[in-house]
Amino acid sequence: MGLLPSGFWDTWDAYVEWSIDLGLPGLAILSFTEAFIQPVPPEALTLTMFADAQGDIGSIFLIWLVVTLTSVAGALLGWWLGKILGRNFADRFIKPKHITRLDNLIQRYGSAGIFIAAFSPIPYKVLAWIAGMGEMDYRQFIVAGLLGRGLRFGIQAVAIGIWGNELWSLLDNWEIWAILGILTLIVLVPAKKWWDGLLDEEE
């Protein structure tokens, strides 16, 4: 915790509580701002909201729609800011290795790279800025973001909102935890190698 400013976690908690009190508008604000500037992920609200809406398909769909659309809208603002402010501005706030990685991600994979960032823990907001700096086509950026964010939050909606009770029952079984641990290693080891490889220059 010492690497973070004093009072960071108090501010984090206060912001999350404020967003929760607002309901869907709070989720929209948190999701929108997270996609271009602030660090609190939408999961701070979506996991609880999907659990509370369990079995209510209409509410689950509305939560999914709001978080997906506002997240992509926030990233589009980040894309625009990157295009307007340029690389010199980003260099003041983003570590060079992060810029190199995400630059290579876009150059090598194009819109597929945006999809990967939108779906995975890769910092979507930073990639949005870099995509704007590189003047990536905004239509490709939006479509890839909708697919990635839609899938990310859609998995949460189904797993928690629709299959929540069944999922919790499965997690009582130690064999399931063993299988999940093995699968995690199978995914993370090559993913770490791929992520580190994004620092390499193309030959």
Summarised one tens digit per residue, pLDDT across range 11-21 is 767 777 878 78
User: Is there a domain that residue 107 lies in?
Assistant: yes
* Domain containing residue 146: 8-164
User: Is there a domain that residue 79 lies in?
Assistant: yes
User: Is there a domain that residue 193 lies in?
Assistant: no
Beta carbons of 34 and 125 less than 8 angstroms apart: yes
Q: What is the 3-state secondary structure (H, E, C) of 91-148?
A: HCCCCHHHHHHHHHHHHHHCHHHHHHHHHCCCCHHHHHHHHHHCCCCHHHHHHHHHHH
* Average pLDDT along the chain, 203 residues, taken 10 residues at a time: 55 76 90 88 90 91 96 95 82 77 84 87 85 88 94 93 73 71 79 76 49
Report the predicted TM-score, pTM, of the whole model to 2 decimal places: 0.81
Overall number of domains in the chain: 1
User: Is there a domain that residue 69 lies in?
Assistant: yes
User: Is there a domain that residue 185 lies in?
Assistant: no
User: Is there a domain that residue 34 lies in?
Assistant: yes
User: Is there a domain that residue 184 lies in?
Assistant: no
User: Is there a domain that residue 118 lies in?
Assistant: yes
